[in-house]
Amino acid sequence: MRTYVRWTGTGVRRLGTTLVVLAVVTAGLAPAGATPPSSDPPTAAAYGARWLAGQVSAAGALPDFNGDPAVGPTVGGALALAAAGVEGETFGRMLAFIESDAESYVNPSGNDSPGAIGYLLLLSAAAGEDPTSFGGIDLISRLDATLGAFAPGLYGADDPTFDGTVRQALALLGLAAHGVTPPPEAVDWLIDQQCGTGSPAGTVGAWQAYRADTSQPCDTPNPLTFAGPDSNSTAFALQALAALGVTPPEDGLGLLASWQQPDGGFEFLPGLGVDPNSTALVIQAIVAGGEDPAAGRWVQPGGSAMTSLLSWQLGCDRPEAERGGFASPFSDGAPDLLATTQAVWGASGQAFPLQVRVFTPAPDPCEVPPVPDSAGPTTTAGMGGVQVPVAAPRYAG
């Protein structure tokens, strides 16, 4: 049994750009004996979103790793609810919380974060909000002002060593969400970061977090130092270029296909073991590329990319408070907030950016369908049970 310390160099796991060290964990193992509640991806996404909504405080916040209410996890969770198209009332509360503290999220340490702005642009598009006055911030102008602050064509002034590709991709996705054409040099920066001919075998077509000198080949993936091209950076970059209608010089999807594991899932780096976060992000890249993550070349002897993702979801054999959540290699079989957030993105079968969402009631993964009696039809509405008035009618459901 293999263990390792997982750290989030790209910032993907924290939905931001902070480097963190997670606990020593068992790698690549779905919950033993788990019985996923659904094999239908959109239904599974709705179940996951329902579990996420149950973790949201009355103030509309999800907690960070310290258990404190935080905008970053709430942004990711709100995007999950939007992707699944359920829990509209909760989405409305989350949106209000995010807008109330958007400035601290955009500028956490003295420099505006292009990755954070990109996420808010994605969220504002899904909510149908004006990106020039989101939480009192003109997100477009703030993003534009960061271009070239560290290097020509790159968004953001902070050192991009651990998050350059991801933050650039998020910035471009955010602009695409609102139909804004990015500067050519910003697109070229992301294209130039792709690993080309001369890079180590098995990496041509991938992206790593950052290359200061793109005339040099990419690094060799190293699961001990977490260096080199990774699936998360690659998935975000491919989504961003697809959203802009740009074809990269190398076949990024083909590269990801070569990295797929026998169960259908994906690793962050080769040798680290399959995890639901990486699998979900790759699924989004597959969808962005116009392919079906449950068919064709994405089906391996042990399953598809989608069946691997859904295998991490907890079903009706678990305590009620866990049902619908997704476990991860880091959670010892319990629901993992970050894994569930990104798993819902992937299970929804949608790439970023999302369109303006219409919300419906969330299904209960273990609800027994009511039996009509002689008095007439039941009062349940679809899979979501009885519909009740909501506090935020704009996001009913």
Domain locations along the chain: 3-395
Q: Which of 35-39, 87-91, 103-107 has the lowest mean pLDDT?
A: 35-39
Residue 367 pLDDT: 85
pLDDT above 90: residue 257: yes
pLDDT above 70: residue 1: no
d(CA 255, CA 245): 19
Are 88 and 372 a contacting pair, CB within 8 Å? no
Residue 83 pLDDT: 98
Residue 346 pLDDT: 98
Is omega for the bond preceding 276 within 30 degrees of 0, making it cis? no
Q: Residue 83 is inside which H or E element, if any?
A: helix 71-84
pLDDT digits (tens, 9 = 90+) for 130-170: 999 999 999 999 999 999 999 999 999 999 999 999 999 99
Instruction: Write out the CATH class of domain 3-395.
Output: mainly alpha
Residue 13 pLDDT: 37
φ, ψ for residue 21, nearest 5 deg: -115, 125
User: What DSSP line would sit under 159-227, residue for residue?
Assistant: --TTTHHHHHHHHHHHHHHTTPPPPHHHHHHHHHTS--TTSPTT-TT-B-S--S-TTSPPPPPBTTTTB
pTM of the model: 0.89
φ, ψ for residue 341, nearest 5 deg: -55, -55
Residue 28 pLDDT: 52
In the structure, what pLDDT confidence band is assigned to residue 373 with cuts at 50, 70 and 90? low
Residue where the block lists tokens 């829990």 = 87
Q: Specify the DSSP class assigned to residue 360.
A: B
